[in-house]
Amino acid sequence: MKIKEIESTTHEKVLLCEDPQSGLEAIIAIHNTRLGNSLGGCRMYPYSSREEALNDVLKLSESMTYKAAIAGLNVGGGKAVIIGHPKNKTPELLRSFGRFVHDLQGEYVTAEDVGTSVNDMTYIAEETPFVCGMGNTENSLGDPSPYTAYGVLQGIRAAVSHKMNRDSLQGIRVSVLGIGHVGYHLCHMLLKEGAQLFIADIVQEKITRFIEEAKKTYSQDVSIQAKTVDELIALDVDVFSPCAMGGILNESTVKKLQAKIVAGAANNQLASNSIDQLLFDKGILYAPDYVINGGGLISVHQEYFNQNVEPNSIFNYVKTIYSSLMNIFELSQQQQKPTAQIANALAESRFSRESVS
């Protein structure tokens, strides 16, 4: 195994690991540890190049710094990416990644993310204690996705209350892009609230399976329709909820958007910082991604640092995402500034201070 540092002017530490024996090629990026050692998921994705993987892990780890700060957690921002298709995962590759994590001696704590699972974390844990979000182990809360989805639900409630002056989601038209770990749970939660759902995913099987399951679980006339990705983006709905990969909000897609609200689980939804202003100018209320999707981080943080924590206490903590977003929405309205600018300033006021003891 070879580990080498990649120079960075924006991050505290960026490391590349190559292990030909297991096939591992991975990058760990630590953005900021003013509030504590870094915590963030491990993503596995078939990047087209190492440069693409590096750009992704740098953005994701920076977002984790902001996510932890805005959630009131005393941890820093870190992230890992494994270059490769998830179908090519092996126990040997995951154990090798565990040794890579262990080499940092706690500076970075890992968890599941896109392309990895709670079961994968158990292989990683064979090599390092610096891992959380595992399945079927003592003190483990398991998959953090339901907590992330619950936080997004709270964020949608806050946005609907602020923008539409409605306390109920009954009859609210919501389009969800991506029926993965989080999108799946979010769709179930929205249906239970009486929302009208429109869904899309690049994997058609996920759509078919979810609709069949929803009709069996609720009723045959449950309000859910399948759309293509392009159709979904342009739909006249109350809420557009991106729950897939990042960068979905760009100049082209914002022009097509007819939703009143954007509130979803995806990381790094804005293709560039200027997109927040475009949404604001168009009168679309944007729930900053790292605020609304903080439930997963809250769950793995509580699992790792507070042993024997109960799921109910996690859900209660995640509920605070509602009030955090209401505060951001109100400040945005008062100051006539985009919501992401407001959220960034609030987060930076925490992690830009002196280190927390």
Q: With beta carbons less than 8 A apart as the criterion, state whether 153 and 186 touch.
A: yes
Which residue in 79, 163, 260, 282 is the catalytic one? 79
79 counts as catalytic: yes
The region, left, alpha or beta by phi > 0 then psi within -120 to 50, assigned to residue 174 is beta
Longest dimension (CA), the chain: 58
Give me the active site residues, please: 79
